[in-house]
Amino acid sequence: MIENELVTLTDKQKKARRSRSIAIGLGLAVLVVVFYVSTIIKFGPAILDRAL
């Protein structure tokens, strides 16, 4: 019989993981904002130039 191997996290590990997850989420959000805003700045008004 194959037993399911599950790791049960301690409270401390759960708290640490939540803290890391929030930081990664915020970091990625900042990265997205940085690239979006920088792209708009670099393109300037030309960002709306497109063939109709």
Partner 1 sequence: MALVDKNTLDDGGFRMSEATARDFIELLKPRVMSLVVFTAFVGLVAAPVSINPFIAVVAILAIAIGAGASGALNMWYDADIDAVMTRTATRPVPSGRVLPGEALVFGLILSALSVMTLGVLVNWLSAALLALTIFFYAVVYTMWLKRSTPQNIVIGGAAGAFPPMIGWAAATGSISLESVILFLIIFLWTPPHFWALALFKSQDYGRAGIPMMPNVAGEASTRKQIFAYSLLLAPVGMLPWAFGFTTAGYGVVATALGIGFIWYAWKVLVMPDSDRVMKPAKALFAYSLLYLFVIFAAYLADSVVERTLASGVLS
Q: Name the residues that contact partner 1, by CB under 8 A.
A: 1-3, 5, 7, 9-10, 12-13, 15-17, 19-20, 22-23, 31, 34-35, 37-38, 41-42
Per-position DSSP letters for the chain, written without gaps between them = -PPP--PPPPHHHHHHHHHHHHHHHHHHHHHHHHHHHHHHHHHGGGGG----
Q: Is residue 18 within 8 Å of residue 26, measured between CB atoms? A: no
CB of 49 to partner 1, least distance (A): 20
Closer to partner 1 by CB, 37 or 52: give it.
Answer: 37
Q: How far is the CB of 52 from partner 1 (least distance, A)?
A: 29
